[in-house]
Structure 1
Amino acid sequence: MPAPNTEMLLALRNPKSGWLATMICALEEALKDVDFSEHHRAMVKQLLEQGAVSVAVSEAAEERLARFEASVAETQAGLAASVTAPLMATTASPAHPKLTLVSNAA
């Protein structure tokens, strides 16, 4: 295993590495997305080098993240509905005949 991976694994064992883990998970997902361009990578690198995020950028990012989360939630709901609707249709209880109790008064 290369040294950076070993160092990273050791760092992630630290109970105070929650933000590191969060950033790694977000970065891994971003790197899988073809829309996360080389330009985006350069901007992230620039933010890390600056060591600060401006208020305007932070607010814009929060707004964009809220819209992104909403679109993900809508997609998940649509997928869940497309999976459960056919199941609900096939597992609907069949119509049972109405039974009437008749007492024999004999």
Structure 2
Amino acid sequence: MNVSTNELLLALRAPTSGWLAAVICALDEALLDPDFSEQHRDMLRSLLDAGQVPANVAAASQERLQRFEEAVQTLHEALVGDDETAADVLVARPQLKLCASAA
């Protein structure tokens, strides 16, 4: 079954399409990554065809995702600093204020 771009855009307008959007965003990122191989694509196709994710695969995926999130957090802390939160960084930015001239 080939789905047209217009069908996908229409489906994404539905209030219940949150998961579809999340999966498409993740797939878009994956397809840009040269490490996402044809073998990975085949594995995803087989999961979709099966209509379920085996429990042990789901658990292993959760563990791997947790390690990935930790790596991203570590990178964030290295770039921003571990004692600064994102809110602190935003507050520290100068603010532009528009003033009318009295002259």
Q: How many residues align?
A: 80
**2:63 maps to 1:72:** no
Deviation by residue 1:30-80 (Cα, 9 ceiling, x = unmatched): 111111111111101110000001111010000000001111111122222
Q: Which has the larger radius of gyration?
A: 1
Distance 1:77 1:21 in 2: 29
Distance 1:51 1:25 in 2: 20
Q: Which runs of 4+ in 1 moved over 4 A?
A: none
Unaligned runs of 5+ in 1: 85-106
Using the size of structure 2 for normalisation, the TM-score is 0.72
Distance 1:10 1:37 in 2: 29
Distance 1:31 1:79 in 2: 26
Unaligned runs of 5+ in 2: 85-103
2:40 counterpart residue number: 40
Identity within the alignment, %: 51
Distance 1:34 1:78 in 2: 25
SS in 1 for 2:62: helix
Distance 1:76 1:38 in 2: 31
